[in-house]
Copies of this chain bind each other. A is one copy, B any other.
Amino acid sequence: MAEDFPVARLESDAWDAVTQLAEHRLPGLVVTDASGRPVAILPAAQVVRILVPQYVQDDPSLAGVLSESMADRVAEKLRGEKVSALLPDDTPELAVVNHDDTIVEVAAVMARLRCPLAAVMENDRLTGVITASRLLELALRQ
């Protein structure tokens, strides 16, 4: 049930990874280590956190104080960064499923972790990704 999906490595360029997410309207990013093992699955709603300065994350009321021109340049901090800079400080549980899991099993993982995509593994190897919208499409078709 896996679908073609771009994967970003920890050492890849963060700007390129976020551009890919934005241009292809992906629900998130699958991040792997150099050996291709998934280390993080970042929903798009988590990736946008990179646009929010730390002092606004600490005190959201300060977001309105930023001028539009300052806000416009927030993406600049992605320049020269690696994908690893997109990862949160804590390491959340990975949304990982097995290639032979049922639709219900995959849906249960996504719903529990509130993650719109899951890495699909076969024999400990990443074989693809499944998104929530693709899962719904499969469920409706049956």
Contact = CB atoms under 8 A, between A and B. Distances in A.
Interface of A: 15, 18-19, 21-27, 43-49, 51-53, 56-57, 60, 63-64, 66, 68, 70-75, 78, 102-108, 110-116, 131-137, 139-140, 142
Contacts of A47: 132, 136
Interface of A, secondary structure class, is helix
Contact of A104 (B19, B22, B71, B108): B71
A71 B116 contact: no
A65 to B, nearest CB: 10
Given A44-B116, A66-B104, A71-B103, 16 more contacts: A22-B140, A23-B137, A25-B25, A27-B27, A43-B116, A45-B115, A48-B135, A49-B111, A51-B107, A57-B108, A57-B111, A71-B105, A73-B142, A75-B139, A75-B140, A114-B114
